[in-house]
Amino acid sequence: MQLTLDGISKKVGAEDWLYAMSLAPKPGAVTVLLGATQAGKTTLMRIMAGLDAPSAGRVQVDGADVTGRPVRERNVAMVYQQFINYPSLKVADNIASPLKLRGEKNVMGRVRELAARLHIEPFLDRLPAELSGGQQQRVALARALAKQAPLMLLDEPLVNLDYKLREELREELAQLFAAGDSTVVYATTEPGEALLLGGYTAVLDAGELLQYGPTAEVFHAPKSLRVARAFSDPPMNLLPAQAASLGVKLNAGLQMSIPLPQAASQSLTVGLRASALRVRQRPGDVALQGQVELAEISGSDTYVHVDTPAGEVVAQLTGVHDFALGAPITLYLDAAQAYVFDAQGALLVAPARTARS
């Protein structure tokens, strides 16, 4: 199924909720809507589903204009942040309901398969009210997957689940989506979730569509500072810089050998992903000397906040490291891993991608 949004926008009163945008999610693939809270993700999904009409523009499905067609006349499956189930039906019947409507055979076999993948098989004979919130959300996900609708919309479906379960279900959902034929649109605030799901990513910010393309391409070549900020976790380190004869000069005179386009502006911003900063030196590295402001351990990584003459940076170091507050520290980076943005925030230079990246 080809869903096409052609110049759609949305105003509520005098306020612009979505600015004019066009988007055609890849059929049969996952498109992630990535953006912070109030970026416009839910509003966009409601227009895709037919729950709301755009203020301007058209919604097309396989070339047919469905802009004014209500959701009940479209074959759409939706999962929201807050679970929605049939309270009087047991879990098995909740999941089976779309299968029975289609008249499928081996309904219970399919129900058990989905329940096992979503870790709710022990609860098939219970009512939704007897389950925890996370378990009820997994029932809603299973029912949506069972529907096999040509368009599946998921609005931050894992946000209310615990961390460990989110990690497990992300991998399961990526496999389930890849095995199906549905066009999947998945909204999230988490860059890591977009990377794990793969497919395509549309980056939204304050009601604007900033960039759309294959997820890896958008991540490795964000076309602007706004995209780079949205698609980095932890946030990309952004340091003021100037064009110099050898490439780029940061504050305190630190030089980085980065070839710039001839028409590059004098005022620049250098972007460094936290994972690009290291405490072990390699040949040709640039050294950033500073003082430890904060060190925190998250999972198997250590995040170190460092005050340097070039500006404050955060380094994401693999493993558990112990740093004393105020202690001197030297961070190292390869200039080839730096991003450079011009005075208007447009991307000038991105790191070359390797076969493994």
Task: Give the domain ranges of the chain.
Answer: 3-224, 234-349
DSSP three-state, residue 307: strand
Listed as ranges, residues in the chain with pLDDT below 50 are 355-357
Q: What is the pLDDT of residue 207?
A: 97
For the record, the structure tokens of 121 come out as: 């098989």
Q: Report the alpha-carbon distance of residue 147 to residue 152 in Å, rounded.
A: 9
Class of the 3-224 domain?
alpha beta
DSSP three-state, residue 182: coil
Q: What is the pLDDT of residue 354?
A: 61
Q: What is the pLDDT of residue 294?
A: 96
Question: How far is CA 107 from each of CA 89, 104, 147, 175, rounded to the nearest angstrom?
Answer: 16, 6, 12, 21
In one letter, which amino acid is 328? P
Q: What is the pLDDT of residue 85?
A: 86
pTM of the model as a whole: 0.89
Phi and psi based region of residue 326 (left: phi greater than 0; alpha: psi -120 to 50; beta: remaining)? left
Strands 3-12 and 15-23: antiparallel
For 101, counting Cβ atoms within 10 Å of its Cβ (0-12 exposed, 13-18 middle, 19+ buried), the class is exposed
Cis link prior to 234 (omega < 30° from 0)?
Answer: yes
CATH 2.40.50.140 correct for 234-349: yes
Q: What is the pLDDT of residue 356?
A: 47
